[in-house]
């Protein structure tokens, strides 16, 4: 149990927003802590929407959830490693780091369990992490082993000097061969878990190039100028081309079923950055995991059969 005075910078904020920032958790996770009574205000009753006032004391009485050891992802591949950084090919279903309510494996926990040294810099439970991937997104993720790397890579990510290339398959046939989507993204009012294009959101810029067309779907290469939560999923949904396998943002569930997909077709495929110590440009890439490869093979086979049928007409 601990008591913390309300930080000046958070006065006037909703309680769930303030707790999220104070504890380094999501807003929905903060709301769960408030509703379960693990987080409260010392001198007054307050629900998650109450405003934090000057003089408030935040009472933290978190239940011990460490009795069950965190599962380890043994099959997570290390693509690159030296004394400063380690880059993994994160499987779907693995979180970047531990968080309230998450009981599955994490990148950080799995690396530490293997004996990989990670810098102590960063928030507790998130040390060494300068950029994350969603649980449902696979691909390359960089973690810092040295203090020098943490400081420099955090700067590079913050100043958008790192080029992160994703491959995605979207529904429908994109009209252009390349384009940019520039639209602000914020939380959707209908859910704490969904995001949407909204004038009240934060600026977000997504560049894409077509790699392959299948008629009713398109494989694209995507580069982000900004790193908003669910940015690729939200932006393509906003132009009427949601990622296949992503019903949360409008994908056709029947199409997903035909392709054997249980998550969005999205993979962090390439990373280009300056090495934090040598400042020499590094290029790292990875292939697609089996579920995404299978869906892509089905699309290619179906598309080729359709073209052959059209030519015979």
DSSP annotation of 98 reads -
Beta strand 195-197 pairing with 185-187: antiparallel
Residue 100 main-chain phi, psi, to 5 deg: -60, 125
Contact 100, 126 (CB under 8 A): no
pLDDT digits (tens, 9 = 90+) for 204-227: 999 999 999 999 999 999 999 888
pLDDT at 305: 80
pTM above 0.75, yes or no: yes
> 144 pairs with which residues across the strands?
85
CA 179 to CA 142: how far, in whole Å? 27
Per-residue buried b or exposed e for 145-162, using 16+ beta carbons within 10 Å of the residue's own CB: bbeebbebbbebbeeeeb
CA 175 to CA 192: how far, in whole Å? 32
pLDDT at 31: 86
Widest CA span of the chain, in angstroms?
A: 78
pLDDT at 190: 67
pLDDT at 107: 95
Kindly report the three-state secondary structure assignment for every residue of 2-70. Answer: EEEECCHHHCCCEHHHHHHHHHCCCHHHHHHHHHCCCEEECCCCCCCCCECCCCCEEEECCCCCCCCCC
Low-confidence ranges of the chain (pLDDT < 50): 66
Catalytic residue among 16, 134, 246, 291: 134
**DSSP character string of 197-266:** E-TTSB--EEEEEEEEE-SSEEEEEEEESS--TTHHHHHHHHTT-PBTT-GGGT--HHHHHHTT-SS--E
Write the CA distances from 58 to 15, 202, 254, integer angstroms: 10, 28, 47
pLDDT at 211: 98
Beta strand 205-213 pairing with 178-182: antiparallel
pLDDT at 1: 54
CA 210 to CA 93: how far, in whole Å? 27
CA 226 to CA 180: how far, in whole Å? 12
Per-residue buried b or exposed e for 251-269, using 16+ beta carbons within 10 Å of the residue's own CB: beeebbeebebebbbbbbb
Per-residue buried b or exposed e for 45-64, using 16+ beta carbons within 10 Å of the residue's own CB: ebebebebeeebebbeeeee
- Tell me the CA end-to-end span of the chain in Å, nearest whole number: 75
Other CB atoms within 10 Å distance of the CB of residue 21: 15
pLDDT at 64: 56
Is 134 tagged catalytic? Answer: yes
> 163 pairs with which residues across the strands?
272
């Amino acid at each position: 149990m601990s008591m913390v005075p309300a930080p000046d910078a958070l006065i006037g904020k909703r309680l769930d927003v303030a707790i999220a920032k104070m504890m380094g958790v999501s807003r929905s996770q903060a709301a769960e802590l408030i509703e379960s009574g693990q987080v409260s205000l010392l001198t007054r009753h307050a629900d998650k929407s109450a405003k934090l006032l000057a003089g408030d004391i935040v009472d933290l009485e978190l239940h011990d959830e460490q009795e069950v050891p965190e599962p380890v992802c043994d099959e997570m591949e290390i693509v690159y490693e030296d004394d400063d950084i380690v880059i993994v090919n994160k499987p779907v279903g693995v979180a970047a780091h531990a968080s309230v309510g998450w009981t599955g494996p994490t990148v950080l926990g799995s690396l530490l369990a293997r004996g990989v040294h990670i810098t102590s810099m960063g928030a507790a439970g998130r040390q060494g992490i300068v950029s994350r991937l969603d649980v449902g997104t696979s691909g390359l993720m960089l973690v810092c082993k040295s203090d020098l790397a943490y400081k420099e890579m955090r700067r590079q990510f913050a100043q958008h000097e790192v080029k992160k290339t994703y491959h995605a398959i979207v529904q429908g046939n994109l009209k252009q061969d390349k384009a940019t989507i520039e639209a602000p993204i914020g939380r959707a009012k209908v859910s704490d878990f969904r995001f949407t294009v909204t004038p009240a959101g934060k600026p977000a810029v997504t560049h894409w190039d077509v790699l392959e067309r299948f008629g009713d779907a398109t494989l694209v290469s995507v580069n982000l100028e900004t790193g908003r939560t669910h940015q690729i999923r939200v932006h393509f949904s906003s132009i009427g081309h949601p990622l296949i396998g992503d019903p949360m943002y409008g994908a056709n569930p029947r199409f997903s079923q035909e392709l054997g997909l249980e998550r969005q077709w999205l993979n962090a495929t390439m990373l280009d950055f300056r090495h934090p110590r040598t400042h020499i440009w590094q290029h790292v890439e990875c292939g697609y995991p089996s579920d995404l490869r299978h869906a892509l093979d089905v699309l290619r086979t179906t598309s080729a059969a359709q073209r052959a049928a059209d030519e015979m007409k």
